[in-house]
Structure 1
Amino acid sequence: MDMEEYSPRKADDPLALLLKQDLDPLSVSELTERIARLEGEIVRTRSKMDLAVNHKASADALFRK
């Protein structure tokens, strides 16, 4: 899989800017903090996906009856 597949379409999108950020000036502790924040965002995003999937499944089940 190509990372471009998951990249946002707009150049000014925050995720696109994040992916382009130069990591060289960051210290180990700053990189550790960055990873922790990104992992937190992954958890938040997965939770949102789970809610959306469960909501859709509930709606599908309701309208199938």
Structure 2
Amino acid sequence: MDDYLPKRADDPLNLLIRQDLAPLSVDELRARVAALEAEIERVRKTIDRAVSHKASAEALFRK
């Protein structure tokens, strides 16, 4: 799992996962979850496009 975590201490993802959640209200936590779920979906779409692009390129060069 550590292989997927950012290597730099000032990386935004690293800062996000280390943020203290205790001071946040329930509404703020729900908003955070919604934002993170939207970001996960955005990342998944980017991955899908990259995989599709790679497969298309590989198919082109196999011909």
One-letter code of the match for 2:22? D
What's the % identity of the aligned pairs?
Answer: 62
Question: Who is 2:34 aligned against?
Answer: 36
Aligned with 1:54 (options 45, 49, 52)? 52
Q: Deviations over 1:19-63 (max 9, x none)?
A: 100000000000000000000000000000000000000000000
Q: CA RMSD in A?
A: 0.7
Q: Does 1:7 align with 2:5?
A: yes
**Equivalent residue of 1:40, what SS?**
helix
TM-score (structure 1 length as normaliser): 0.93
Segments of 4+ moved more than 6 angstroms? none
**Structure 2: distance between partners of 1:5 and 1:59:** 27
Q: Which runs of 5+ in 1 are unaligned?
A: none
